[in-house]
Amino acid sequence: LPTLTLPTPADFDLARDCCSYGYFLLWPNFWDPGTRTLSRVLDVGKGGPVGVVIAQRDGVGSALRLTLSRAVLTAERAELKRQVSRMLRLDESAEAIGEFHGVDPRWKRSGYGRLFRSPTFFEDVIKTVTSCNIQWPGTIEMNRRLCQVVGEKLVLPARRKGGTPLELHSFPSVSRLARTRPATLRARCRVGYRDARLVELARLFRSGKVDPAWFEDPATPEAEIHEALLELPGVGPYAAANIMQLLGRYGRLPLDTESVRHGKTVLGFAGTSAQIMKRVHGHFAPFGEHAFRSYWFEIWAYYESKHGKASTWERETTGRVFTAALLAK
């Protein structure tokens, strides 16, 4: 099979930096704790979906080895590298992570700093909308169904003679989701009332009214991005702040019921949820433009204290246990 190599920052650790945010557990992403590889299908051009397995064999800072399901053209190769770099935040240098550790030294030892995200801005927006007002296992199910129902199918030949071919799916493309009927999403993907909002989002991307390049441009003022996100269907204060962090803007906190749980059980705050939210907000304000990472890795450390290293979580078992009721115990 064709392979590609991708250099990484000096401190990059695939197992740690991939398994750093819940989206690594969402379809079509598949982290295999056994082989410590990330695999999924990517849409990189007109040649059809490409399966990719990402491995880091020679330790921290070594190059990634990408094994592809088919040969790719030059333009596809560039796009593929761009998408993998986005997912794993290869754009964040060791120095940039060091700067964060300077502000919050608690994560220096583990090296946590990069946060996993999607290969595209579009997928991040859709995934965030599917995480609202629902428990985590529901988000997992919705993403699985979206891929299987609306995503493009990729069939890989059986590894052994007589074995069954492997069927994989990509994440729904903008154009495909824009053409999907809300009723289909509701019935087959179980997205509930999110149906029309998801289709409308895809249509905004398709028409160019939402331009990913503008949102991703470091030169675009933060306040303008935030304002534009709030205009999107299905995106409120929580989702907007979360998409901001996915864009690498860590100054805002996506406060939700999980923040309240964290405030109570870990930080020891008492009072009404509104009061606790306020205190959580104040607690992380001193971390300034790094606030979200300080907040998130505190939560992540709590999850790992309950279930072990995130890189050992299985998508089908451990990955599904993060419900409010279980976390509160």
Partner DNA sequence: GGTAGACCTGGACGC
Partner DNA sequence: GCGTCCAGGTCTACC
Can residue 44 be called a binding residue for DNA (CB under 7 A)? Answer: no
Can residue 324 be called a binding residue for DNA (CB under 7 A)? Answer: yes
- Interaction residues for DNA, span 174-203 (CB under 7 A): 186-187, 190-194, 197
Tokens at 256, concatenated: 């939700």
Q: Which listed residue (8, 37, 131, 180) binds DNA by CB under 7 A?
A: 131
DSSP H or E segment with residue 99: helix 94-103
Residue with Cβ nearer DNA (5 or 323): 323
DSSP letter (8 states) at residue 298: H
Residue with Cβ nearer DNA (30 or 303): 303
| Size of residue set near DNA by CB under 7 A | 41
CA distance 1 to 311: 26
Specify burial of residue 155 (Cβ count, 10 A radius: 0-12, 13-18, 19+). Answer: exposed
Q: Which listed residue (98, 137, 286, 308) binds DNA by CB under 7 A?
A: 137
CA distance 114 to 99: 12
For the bound state, the minimum distance from the C-beta of residue 189 to DNA, rounded and expressed in Å, comes to: 9
Residue with Cβ nearer DNA (88 or 125): 125
Q: Which listed residue (169, 256, 262, 294) binds DNA by CB under 7 A?
A: 256
Can residue 80 be called a binding residue for DNA (CB under 7 A)? Answer: no
* Residue 220 burial (CB count, 10 A): 15
For the bound state, the minimum distance from the C-beta of residue 30 to DNA, rounded and expressed in Å, comes to: 17
Going by C-alpha positions, the residue among 276, 237, 241, 279 that lies closest to residue 260 is: 276
Q: Where are the beta strands (DSSP E) in 56-203?
A: 64-68, 153-156, 166-169
Q: Which listed residue (213, 219, 270, 325) binds DNA by CB under 7 A?
A: 325
Can residue 308 be called a binding residue for DNA (CB under 7 A)? Answer: no
Q: Where are the beta strands (DSSP E) in 75-120?
A: none
For the bound state, the minimum distance from the C-beta of residue 196 to DNA, rounded and expressed in Å, comes to: 9
Are the C-beta atoms of 130 and 237 separated by less than 8 Å? no
Can residue 132 be called a binding residue for DNA (CB under 7 A)? Answer: yes
Contact characters 219-248, DNA, x per CB under 7 A: -----------x-xxxxxxxxx-x------
Q: Which amino acid is at 264?
A: K
- Interaction residues for DNA, span 140-169 (CB under 7 A): 141
Are the C-beta atoms of 171 and 123 separated by less than 8 Å? yes
Can residue 323 be called a binding residue for DNA (CB under 7 A)? Answer: yes
For the chain, give percent helix, strand, coil, nearest 5. Answer: 50, 10, 40
Binding-site ranges for DNA (CB under 7 A): 22, 131-138, 141, 186-187, 190-194, 197, 230, 232-240, 242, 254, 256-258, 261, 322-327, 329
